[in-house]
Amino acid sequence: MKAFLMLEDGTRFYGEPFGDVQNTVGEVVFSTSMTGYQEGLTDPSFYGQILVLTYPLIGNVGFNNFDYESHRISVKGLVVKELCEAPSNWATKGSLDEFMKKFNIVGLKGVDTRALTLKIREESVMRGMICLQEPTAEQIEELKSYKIEKPVHRVTVKEKKKYDGQKSGKNIAVMDFGVKENMIRELHKRGHNLTIYPATTAAEEILADNPDGILLSNGPGDPKDNDDIIANIKKLIGKKPIMGICMGHQLLALANGLDSYKLKYGHRGANQPVKDLNTGRVYISSQNHGYAICEPKGSKDIEVTFRNVNDGTVEGLKYKKHKSFSVQFHPEACPGPMDTQFLFDDFERLMEEDTNAQK
Amino acid sequence: MPRNKNIKKVLLIGSGPIVIGQAAEFDYAGTQALTTLKKEGLEVVLVNSNPATIMTDSEMADRVYLEPLSADVLRKIIEIEKPDSILPTLGGQTGLNLAMELAESGFLAEHNVRLLGTNTLAIKKAEDREAFKETMEKINEPIVEGTIVTHVEEALDFAERVGYPVIVRPAYTLGGTGGGIADDAKQLKEICDGGLKASRVHQCLIEKCICGWKEIEFEAMRDSAGNCITICNMENVDPVGIHTGDSIVVAPVQTLRDKETQMLRSASLKIINELGIEGGCNVQFALHPENMSYAVIEVNPRVSRSSALASKATGYPIARVSTLVAIGYTLDEIKNAVTGSTYASFEPSVDYIICKFPRWPFDKFVSADRKLGTKMKATGEVMSIGDSFEAAFLKSMRSLELNVFSSEVNYFEKMTKKQLIDRLSVQDDQRIFCVFAALRAGITAEEVYDITKIDIWFLKKFETILRNEKKIQKEKLKCLDGDYMLHVKKLGFADKAIAEWCGVSEKEIRKMRIDMGITPVFNMVDTCAGEFQAYSDYYYSTYQTKTEVRKTDKKTIVVLGSGPIRIGQGVEFDYCSVHCVWALKKLGYDAVIINNNPETVSTDFDTSDRLYFEPLTNEEVLNILEVEKPEGVFVQFGGQTAIKLAKTVHENGYKILGTSFDDINNAEDREEFDALLTALDLARPKGKTVFTEQQALDAAEELTYPVLVRPSYVLGGQGMEICYNADDIQKYMSIINLNTQEHPILVDKYIMGKELEVDAICDGKNILMPGIMEHIERTGIHSGDSIAVYPAGLDDDVTQKIIETTKKLAFGTKTIGLINIQYILQGKDLYIIEVNPRSSRTVPYISKVTQIPMVQLAVRCSLGEDLASMGYGTGLHKASNYYAVKVPVFSNEKIPDLEISLSPEMKSTGEVLGLSKSYPEALLKGLLASGIRLKDGGAVLISVSDIYKQEIISTAQAFFDLGFELYATGGTAHVLNSNFIPTNVVGKLKDSGENIETLFATDKVCLVINTPTRGHDSTRDGFKIRRLAIERGITCMTAPDTANALAKALKLKKKDKDLNLVCLGDIKND
């Protein structure tokens, strides 16, 4: 069976469908991460997107019970060069094809993913549609007008959720914009008590629970789509120590009066170097974002803490007056390098300092 | 941090001759280091004894010393050159050990020389077993349960405690020399004893065996600011238990989840941080196949074979970056040369898979022990790039030039299931084909896994290959519609294999395929999986949709490389290919290279204008020529590999530059060549061309014994032997007929005499002979295994005769470019043994000594320039006032059961050069550089066959006069004693009481002179004596000529510290 990915400019990339075979529309992005497709597929930040993997052999380890970053696949479609039909790893519970079927997501295999990647790199991220047959005029219209509407509101938890840690642990409020589970695991394994809040939870409600710190999670889409949440975050600023990651970083920046812009084709991969401007150390980070924060020009209270070594973009910010900091990249990794997990320790320290100051 | 400005003059130590475990990868690394240092404006001094390398060209460093690599020589050079720094981590284990020795003795501190990059403490922590263990324990990194022993008894105690099998790993050795797996106490005793002897510090690590775990490697890099990255990870297809140099390796890892990959990546970084590495580092892990437990196997705190592979696999130049890090830069200050916009502080992401396949010497060493274990046996390797595992794997298989184009190798096809299952547990170079045969016979992947522990993932991929092979074999052309053809081409199937299965010619399949519109595209290796625009011009073929080759307006010339390093075709042909590329660039052409050896300078993407990393097969070369549409193709620099491709290049309408295809063919074709010699009135040993055993016997009878037999189209004397009787002929023909012979066998009369060798350049009107070389060993020993002396000491009339004959041959063969001729001189009679219309093994060294850029001149001749106008004159070049002695270097100790005696069959893996104004000193330097060091007042054991007994008297006298104690077996001792040379009699191996074995055990003997009797019977005494000597590290000489040369050199009574050192650049100034 043949199928193809049609980009909004009409370019087609042919392949064969797999998973839950159906038509689908999404924003086509590529990731250069060579491992961790299960983590990637279940990362809510990919919501509304058709993910192209540049590594050609996908599905080698099938899927398993350990590598979920949320309880479902977030992408609208997956495009690969070669799908592995006979996976092999001790943890494997089934093939990637079965995994995609389980979550009703379509994939396209046998595609020249390099040619596709180069196209996106040269011309920027664009809309695309996985088509099983010649698209109708309506489908083409759907493709051209496709927009990921308020994705954060769609992926966030519906109700507050608690994870109890140790007695000595901090109480941390996690604002779920599409949180990856490893953020929760990282904090939880440090003994903290976590409360996961829906993205639209009122600041007052969170503050009423009197957390020791607030984690603004990652999430999908354009940060500017979230006026309500930004307004809410403004009310949290300065009240409690805050750590922001990815979307959380962007929303915190917007709430602090900074601006954001769309990158040509984003940073998606497990090999992005970021430089800690305080120490000069470079770390390799896992990244997944299509938007970035503009330079905080003229603001003495906002310090750029990390920069991307490749293109110099802002990768981390510190709000000196507000006991808060944020990073664009993913210290929780999964997939990718664990080099910057120490940022969770930094967050711990920030909360500790704050608690001591309150005493 | 910018460059350390206190560094002004740097000494780089090379890795010396090519031996198993230390090959061309260090020419690649060293060359990159030298280029980088010079670009930084630093003064650079290089010491390396290997003349066949690019790095020892006099232009590569400010001062180049082709001198023996010993601590004393280095001390002297440091005193002369006064460098302020040494870069120790680019010259393999040899360079590292020497630097450590100088540092530990306090010499470097005394002379204010600093070690750049990784410091001595870090090196010690990584290399010293005890220190390594402590370090790993400190940072909670698991290692394999093990203990360090200095006595065999300790090893036995440990094994009793943890249980067998155990692995023995000697400290500070190359390629795991001296190690092994012991299943019981007897084996442990033997292996441990050998290991302790092989270790510089007399230490072995005895470990619990974790065979069957996945073997995973990480190439990591750290700078002085503590920035750490991993450049590439690799997975060995063969699990722990087979040396990684002997394993099929893929990159990146294939069967690991992200969590497993990151766990090991984090461990790598933690380790190199704790050690304080500054530069490149290799970390090897064993990963349990059924859970997340792992163990750190080994850390190499330097660039290595794996780092060369990782550099080629990713496009990240590890040696260059290591060098920059060593002189102070941090990773975020170093630009990524591939993208030009990103920095060295990133981790490459690849969008293809690479497969490395070892190249073993067993096609030449047919009777050697082929088993693979913890000791490396491969002489070289190939790498291939594909976008499926199957394609990468099949490409690498055909890159080996073993005439293997599919998974089928006939010797396993007749085996029963039971036989196959038994055979699967034998770990040797052929096991991979046995795996295929087993799967083909219906043994399940799971069963194969249980025996081999090769991950199911790989086995399932093999099954995909087999399924499709079977389909074509069964349905033939019928199944090959466009879709299916594309499918199997994506799987990497060769046209040649498809053609064979379909019973048609390769040409027909090619035409059919092209008519279907199925041709490969070339994708770029760009370090970043397409994320950034790249400028690497480094390509591989794939059956996808978009080609990325960037051509320019310049005329293009393609240079065919020489493939993997093997016996008979070593780094010297890469030297020639690289020089050809450089010459072409200088002349304004776009130089394109095709090669598949990841260890070499030619496959550095910086070397050529465009690099195609592809198998050197008809199909793949044509694919590239069709894209490049070159002005011409050079086949004369890539050894026999390139020559073999001449036909295809020519027949498809591409121009062969230099000597034409027809003329190459005429020189290689016996009858054409004989006709030419007759026409030119030149003599050669009489010979016959035969196909069958009977014809061979008849020919020998007619020519009279002894005769020399060999296949036509040879290099490195493949299958060449002197036969003294009909028995020898029968034995020879039975071996040669194991493989299908496309070409006839040659039978020649064997003539004993002095062997001479000439390399010349010809433009069709004139020739230039840079020099004449003379072999120390008489005829019958392969030229690659002989000691060669330049200039030859010949009478004027003989010299004149050689000039005339060379001219005749060059013109007669219509050579344009390089020609190599081997002569026999018997009295005043000159016979021609061999004429090769191509570059040769000796071109690099003669180029260096005579300062004539031979390859460059040959290239210019081939492009139509006149020799006379090049400024180097014509005829025989004036002899240098320096002697240059090329001494072969063997890897005999690495290959158990190898018959080491010199014969027409080449055995050496590398070579060194001795340079001096005095002949004996040049000889001595060469011998010292080759590793021959006799203990003063030691003993020499002599045991020669009857034909040499008279001749050996003067040799024995010479060693006696030099103060050596003499031992000899019965007959030899009798002859010596009756000539008044005091000689102790020693019993043969089978004799009880004091015999050769007990004598060796006293450690007195430092030299064995033993000539072989005919035949290679491994049960004979001579064979055993030679092997025993090799295993005990005793120098063993099998040709009296070599022993005489050694005695002559020793008469100088000079030690390393007494040598007059020669800087290569000073030769022309003299």
B403 shares contact with chain A (CB less than 8 Å): no
Phi and psi torsions of B592, nearest 5°: -115, 135
**CA–CA dist B345, B227 (Å, integer):** 8
The torsion angle over the Cα atoms of residues B383, B384, B390 and B391, rounded to 10 degrees, is: -160
**Nearest by CB: A281 against B226, B455, B544:** B226
The nearest alpha carbon in chain B to A14 belongs to B545
Residue of B124 and A117 predicted with greater confidence: A117
**Beta strands across the sheet bearing B610-613:** B521-524, B538-542, B610-613, B590-595, B556-560, B632-634
Asked whether the predicted pLDDT for residue A317 surpasses 60, the reply is yes
Residue with tokens 């910018």: B2
Select from A1, A124, A282, A286 the residue whose CB has the most chain B CBs within 10 Å, as the one to mutate to test that interface.
A282
- Measured between beta carbons, which residues in chain B are less than 8 angstroms from residue A81? 387
- Measured between beta carbons, which residues in chain B are less than 8 angstroms from residue A90? 289-291
- Measured between beta carbons, which residues in chain A are less than 8 angstroms from residue B262? 35, 333, 335-338
How close B735 gets to chain A, by Cα (Å)?
A: 42
As given in the structure block, the two tokens for residue B468 are 């499709």
- Is ipTM > 0.95 here? yes
> In this predicted model, what pLDDT tens digit does every residue of A58-94 receive, in sequence order?
999 999 999 999 999 999 999 999 999 999 999 999 9
Across the interface, whether the CB atoms of B256 and A39 are under 8 A apart is answered no
Chain mean position to CA B606: 22
Phi and psi torsions of B557, nearest 5°: -130, 135
**Nearest by CB: B545 against A112, A275, A281:** A112
**CA–CA dist B1032, B432 (Å, integer):** 33
Give the dihedral sign, CA B675/B679/B684/B685.
positive
Angle, CA of B824, B827 and B829, to the nearest 5°: 55
Contact between residue B286 and residue B294 where contact means Cβ atoms under 8 Å apart: yes
Across the interface, whether the CB atoms of A35 and B544 are under 8 A apart is answered no
How close B69 gets to chain A, by Cα (Å)?
A: 38
Across the interface, whether the CB atoms of B345 and A55 are under 8 A apart is answered no
Least Cα distance to B247 among B486, B452, B478 occurs for B452
The nearest alpha carbon in chain B to A40 belongs to B258
**Nearest by CB: B259 against A66, A113, A118:** A66
In DSSP terms, which residues pair with B938 in a beta bridge?
Answer: none
Q: Print burial letters for B739-757: b (CB count within 10 Å at least 16), e (below 16).
A: eeeeebbbbbbbbebbbbb
Segment-wise mean pLDDT, segments of 10 residues, chain B, 1070 residues: 90 96 94 97 97 96 97 98 95 93 96 93 88 94 89 92 86 66 91 84 86 95 95 96 95 98 98 96 96 93 94 96 96 87 90 98 88 92 98 97 87 91 94 96 96 97 97 96 97 97 97 97 96 93 96 96 95 97 98 98 96 98 98 97 96 97 88 91 89 90 90 58 86 71 81 95 97 94 95 96 97 97 94 93 96 97 97 95 97 90 91 97 98 94 91 96 96 96 92 88 94 66 89 93 97 96 83
The nearest alpha carbon in chain A to B446 belongs to A88
As given in the structure block, the two tokens for residue B419 are 């036989």
Contact between residue B401 and residue B563 where contact means Cβ atoms under 8 Å apart: yes
The nearest alpha carbon in chain A to B456 belongs to A88
Q: What is the pLDDT, as a whole number, of residue B738?
A: 62
Contact between residue B252 and residue B350 where contact means Cβ atoms under 8 Å apart: yes
The nearest alpha carbon in chain A to B463 belongs to A86
Contacts of residue A205, defined as CB under 8 A and 6 or more positions apart, other chains included, come to A197
Q: Is B647 exposed, middle or buried (0-12, 13-18, 19+ CB in 10 A)?
A: middle
Across the interface, whether the CB atoms of A335 and B545 are under 8 A apart is answered no
How close B288 gets to chain A, by Cα (Å)?
A: 10
Select from A67, A89, A185, A342 the residue whose CB has the most chain B CBs within 10 Å, as the one to mutate to test that interface.
A89
Least Cα distance to A230 among A332, A331, A149, A152 occurs for A152
Q: What is the pLDDT, as a whole number, of residue B716?
A: 45
Furthest-apart CA pair in chain A: how many Å?
68
Query: Ramachandran region of residue A298, left (φ > 0), alpha (ψ -120 to 50) or beta?
Result: left
**CA–CA dist A51, A40 (Å, integer):** 9
Q: What is the pLDDT, as a whole number, of residue B717?
A: 46
Q: What is the DSSP string of B596-628?
A: --TTSSTTSTTTSSEEEE---SHHHHHHHHHHH
- Measured between beta carbons, which residues in chain A are less than 8 angstroms from residue B228? 339
**Nearest by CB: A282 against B227, B348, B388:** B227
Phi and psi torsions of B100, nearest 5°: -65, -40
**CA–CA dist B772, B229 (Å, integer):** 51
**CA–CA dist B837, B844 (Å, integer):** 16
A-B contacts at Cβ under 8 angstroms:
162
The SS3 of residue B328 is coil
Select from B218, B262, B548 the residue whose CB has the most chain A CBs within 10 Å, as the one to mutate to test that interface.
B262
Q: What is the pLDDT, as a whole number, of residue A340?
A: 97
Q: What is the pLDDT, as a whole number, of residue B719?
A: 63
- Measured between beta carbons, which residues in chain A are less than 8 angstroms from residue B345? 273, 275, 282, 309
As given in the structure block, the two tokens for residue A34 are 């060579």
Distances (CA, A) of B472 to B468, B498, B1028: 6, 7, 51
How close A206 gets to chain B, by Cα (Å)?
A: 33
Q: What is the pLDDT, as a whole number, of residue B715?
A: 44
Q: What is the DSSP string of A259-325?
A: -EEEEEEEEEEEEEEEEETTT--EEEEEEEEEEEEPP-TT-TTEEEEEEETTT--EEEEEETTTTEE
Contact between residue B204 and residue B168 where contact means Cβ atoms under 8 Å apart: yes
Select from B259, B269, B448 the residue whose CB has the most chain A CBs within 10 Å, as the one to mutate to test that interface.
B259
B256 shares contact with chain A (CB less than 8 Å): yes
Q: Report, as residue numbers or ranges, the catalytic residues of A.
A: 246, 330, 332
Least Cα distance to A42 among A127, A85, A105, A91 occurs for A105
**CA–CA dist B928, B1032 (Å, integer):** 19
The torsion angle over the Cα atoms of residues B252, B253, B255 and B257, rounded to 10 degrees, is: -100
Select from B293, B351, B452 the residue whose CB has the most chain A CBs within 10 Å, as the one to mutate to test that interface.
B351
Least Cα distance to B539 among B520, B552, B555 occurs for B520
Phi and psi torsions of A45, nearest 5°: -65, -20
- Measured between beta carbons, which residues in chain A are less than 8 angstroms from residue B291? 90
How close A10 gets to chain B, by Cα (Å)?
A: 17
Across the interface, whether the CB atoms of A115 and B348 are under 8 A apart is answered no
Contact between residue A191 and residue A159 where contact means Cβ atoms under 8 Å apart: no
> In this predicted model, what pLDDT tens digit does every residue of A191-217 receive, in sequence order?
999 999 999 999 999 999 999 999 999
In DSSP terms, which residues pair with A286 in a beta bridge?
Answer: A330
As given in the structure block, the two tokens for residue B396 are 């690498």
Q: How far apart are the first and last CA of chain A?
A: 68
B273 shares contact with chain A (CB less than 8 Å): no
* pLDDT-above-70 percentage for chain A: 100
**Nearest by CB: B225 against A36, A281, A310:** A281
As given in the structure block, the two tokens for residue B221 are 């890099």
Q: Is B49 exposed, middle or buried (0-12, 13-18, 19+ CB in 10 A)?
A: buried
How close B385 gets to chain A, by Cα (Å)?
A: 12
How close B399 gets to chain A, by Cα (Å)?
A: 22
- Measured between beta carbons, which residues in chain B are less than 8 angstroms from residue A61? 255-257
B311: DSSP letter = H
Q: pTM for the complete prediction?
A: 0.94
Q: What is the pLDDT, as a whole number, of residue B739?
A: 59
**How many CB atoms within 10 Å of residue A134?**
8
Across the interface, whether the CB atoms of B546 and A82 are under 8 A apart is answered no
The SS3 of residue A109 is strand
- Measured between beta carbons, which residues in chain A are less than 8 angstroms from residue B290? 90
**Nearest by CB: B343 against A55, A81, A309:** A309
B353 shares contact with chain A (CB less than 8 Å): yes
B269 shares contact with chain A (CB less than 8 Å): yes
Contacts of residue B976, defined as CB under 8 A and 6 or more positions apart, other chains included, come to B942, B952, B953, B956, B966, B968, B983
Least Cα distance to B948 among B899, B1011, B1024 occurs for B1011
Q: What is the DSSP string of B351-378?
A: SSEEEEEEE-GGGT-TTS--B-SSS---
**CA–CA dist B239, B328 (Å, integer):** 38
Contacts of residue A86, defined as CB under 8 A and 6 or more positions apart, other chains included, come to A95, B456, B457, B460
Least Cα distance to B994 among B1022, B962, B970, B972 occurs for B970
DSSP E strands in chain A: the ranges are 3-7, 12-19, 24-31, 49-53, 57-58, 77-79, 82-83, 106-109, 126-131, 161-163, 171-176, 193-198, 213-216, 242-245, 260-276, 282-293, 302-308, 314-319, 324-327
Across the interface, whether the CB atoms of B529 and A269 are under 8 A apart is answered yes
B428: DSSP letter = B
**What is the total residue count of chain B?**
1070
Across the interface, whether the CB atoms of A270 and B348 are under 8 A apart is answered no
Chain mean position to CA B214: 27
Instruction: List helix spans (H) across B163-220.
Output: 185-198
